[in-house]
A and B are shown apart, each in its own frame.
Chain A
Amino acid sequence: MLFNSPEFVFIFLPVALVGYYLLQRSPASEYRFHFLILMSLIYYSVWNPPYTLLLCASLGANYLIGRLIQRASAGRAWFGPSVPLAAGLLLNVGMLFYFKYANFFVDNLNAAAGTNFNLQHVLLPLGISFYTFQKIAYLVDLARGEVRDQGFTRFSLFVLFFPQLIAGPIVHFRETSPQFDRNSRVRFAAANMTVGLVIFAIGLFKKTVIADTAAQFATPIFQAAHQGDTILFWSGWQAAVIYTLQLYFDFSGYSDMTIGLARMFGIKLPLNFHSPLRAQSILDYWRRWHMTLQRFIISYMYQPLAIPLARLAANWSLGRFGRFVVATALPTVAIFFVVGLWHGAGWTFAAFGLMHGAYIVINEAWREINRKRHRKTKTAAPAWGSFLYWCATIAAVLFANVMFRAQTVGDAMEIYAGMTGLNGPPLAAAAGLADLPALLSGPLMIILVGCAIVFGFPNTQQIMRRYGPALGAEQWVGVDARGSAVLWRPTLVGAAFTGITLYLGIMFMMRAQSEFIYFNF
């Protein structure tokens, strides 16, 4: 069930909210979280009921492994915590590998080795990449002693809570668990409903009005490339720019909707998206794009790999360049290769990951060089430098997003050929631009509107900054702030703004319902 579907907006959500708040006001208040678990299971099972059993089995197994880890950590078992932790990691990664990569692996093995292994097509369970990462984080945090088992209900809600079940944000147990305390009173219900509804309305607008409109102009070009058509200069750039806007508003809209939905139930989720297209470096871009994934990567993948490699480089007494390669470049590229494949079992995703890995290595090297130069010359970077950095970042992101969207690496290459003028110089391709009215009512309009919102307006957490919209938002609301006068308040103007936003979101919702791009991962 999509957040941008009438079944969700008009049936599921009202039923869930009414049930939750009725229970909260009844003598059976402590069961409101059980009700949320039930609703989350219903939400998931609408997609594919048998796979709900898989989700439940994985949930139960992880909970038991978590208890074993805690027992072992307390010295109440004959084995150490690393034994159940390893079993848990194996279980989760194994499940992810089987459901997500088994077909990809077998297909490539057959192609490379000429073998003829036959594996039935395995259906990818919805949200498996997200809930698997979340459970891995829980087990590792337990083993590190950073969290403690707090019962099956809280663990179930931590994993199943429907606003974040399918596509994140990837939350930590310590972030949401205290909020699921059954003895806690639900305070500020009207306030949470109000703030949640505003954030949800903004997210719905971003998804249905902007992202889905952008898709209408980007998709045909990618399809044309796939059918073997020649992509010319302007079409190539149109595909890259509009798809980047589509992806941006799709994920930004999803993140807002999930935060808004959780807030309607009085739960704050962590921030997941902070105007990444305003970033002036790739490092900064990844700090703002899918923030909870980046946090997971650093804590549970990058550090466990980079720290031993740094020690190794030190032990080998490598020079500056050698240290950089072993301790920074190698783990970065390796991790981004995995992150690319995490997005999907395909070579385009692997290439996307490698591209970003390479970008980050270059960014790190540049930062290192610049740091030394500034130390020597004691001069700050010139003002125009920021603009150049931003241009380079945007160009890098656009090129990588083409690979991300393309069905095959060959399709992406065709679009790159168009973008770089290899399929004909820009002037030769400019004939299609002559019809300015048509352009203004089509692709150019969505680019102008999209860019105006991305670069000229405050983002959702900045608009809602007065009301603590998300966990960690206070650290970010001042970053790259735009239009500081735009602040939502519970006034007639604020209510009218939300009412109109909600109206447009619902109107466009039925134009064409499309899945959130991140639902596929």
Chain B
Amino acid sequence: MTSMNIAEATQQSGPSRQTAWKRPLNLSVVILTMVGLAASLLAGTVMLPHDPYIRYQTLRGTLHERAAWIYERIHFDPAPIDVLFVGPSRMASGVDGPALSKLLSQQMKIDIKAVNFAFAQPGDDLFYAIAKETLSAKRVKLIVAGVIELQGRSGHPAFRELADRDDILTAPIIFNRSFLKNLAYLPMRQLRLAWYTLNPAAGGYQSHFNPAAAYEGSDLDTRKRFSWRLPDNPVNPNLTEAQLTLESQTYDRTLVHRFLPPLLDGVEFAVARTYFSKLKALADQHGAKLVLLYLPYYKGPEQPFDSAQYENIGPILTPSALIDDWTTREDAAHFSDSGAARLSSWLSIQLEPYLRNDR
């Protein structure tokens, strides 16, 4: 077997008087051109514009179906949003937005609108993106961000679908397992969204908001309308306290506080810390207050593992009386209907001072 000599082969390739685009190039130039062209085309594709309404519709038919309603509620519904809930599925299961609005309105004797924009699955990057989208169109008085016992080490799977281009490009790189995948996904997403912006019907999307067609209203109880459950995790209607305790012990066992030494917490929890800081900055910028709602699993830790970090962001509310009450639960992590009613009622009392101070 002989080594290939591309240089020799190139020299055989014909007469010297050739047009520029047919002339053999230095191989380093060829490699740079190939890689550079691919990179430039990818960068160009990332810059393609699109209609964000289409972007929020792309998750229809998935676990994150609520995204389209969220966008419509933010941008097309004139009803205000006074209290915004962003967080993981525990918050999605525990906060009844319309009930809380009613309680707060009664207590404060003014009209208060609370919306629960929490999503299934943890990932603080997405919660920041949703808050940013909301604050871009509404004057929110209070943001309530969901916190669980341990900060997330990676981003939310729907972040790459819903976040805007700049948020994906500027996401933390170190120890963010989602960064590379999100970045690599971005060109295809941008191309697809640009295409559907031009041809919404091709993807079954709406280019214009049509309230008569599908909008589900300002006071939608997202708990009942959207699932936060994965299909392989159905509700157990005959749940017992013993089963919950067992489930809770599984959570205890699988809770790994740190993989790296404490000195490197900033690296290990880069995603959560970055996005909570950004959320704080965003709230400050828009004059909104930021409160954290800690919702551990059944009989879980009394405070989050990294509570010192969270306290720098905002006050932490913990519904201690509900955490250890098994009757509030649908499973170890999520609230049942009655649990959600109790949590919403408790929240109406806890949140009132923050809203009063706003005035």
Contact = CB atoms under 8 A, between A and B. Distances in A.
A507 B34 contact: no
Interface string B1-18: 111111101100100000
Contacts of B42: 503, 506-507
Contact of A489 (B24, B38, B188): B24
Interface string A238-263: 00000000000000000000000000
A266 interface: yes
B184 A496 contact: no
B22 A495 contact: no
- The A interface, classified by DSSP as helix, strand, loop or mixed, is helix
Most chain B beta-carbon contacts within 10 A, residue among A192, A489, A490? A490
Interface stretch (A6-14, A156-164, A397-405): A6-14
A13 to B, nearest CB: 12
Given A499-B35, A502-B34, A471 B1 contact: yes
A198 B45 CA distance: 22
Interface stretch (B25-33, B65-73, B261-269, B328-336): B25-33
Interface string A437-472: 000000000000000000000000000001110010
Contacts of A493: 21-22
A201 interface: yes
Interface in B160-203: 180-181, 183-185, 187-188, 191
Given A268-B1, A496-B37, A510 B31 contact: no
B184 A10 contact: yes
A188 B3 contact: yes
Given A188-B4, A491-B24, A507-B191, A197 B31 contact: yes
A194 B31 contact: yes
A179 B1 contact: yes
Contacts of B24: 489-491
Contacts of A509: 184
A195 B9 CA distance: 12
Contacts of A510: 181, 184-185, 187-188
Given A492-B33, A507-B188, A188 B25 contact: no
A191 B23 CA distance: 16
B41 interface: yes
A25 to B, nearest CB: 15
Interface string A178-212: 11000000011011111101100100000000000
17 contacts: A6-B181, A6-B183, A10-B180, A190-B28, A193-B27, A193-B31, A195-B6, A197-B34, A198-B34, A201-B34, A268-B4, A466-B13, A492-B21, A495-B37, A499-B41, A507-B45, A507-B187
Per CB-CB distance, the 3 closest pairs between chain A and chain B, nearest first, are A499-B37, A191-B6, A6-B184
Given A179-B1, A491-B21, A510-B185, 10 more contacts: A6-B180, A175-B1, A188-B6, A190-B6, A192-B3, A197-B31, A468-B2, A492-B20, A493-B21, A498-B34
Interface of B: 1-7, 9-10, 13, 20-25, 27-31, 33-38, 41-42, 45, 180-181, 183-185, 187-188, 191
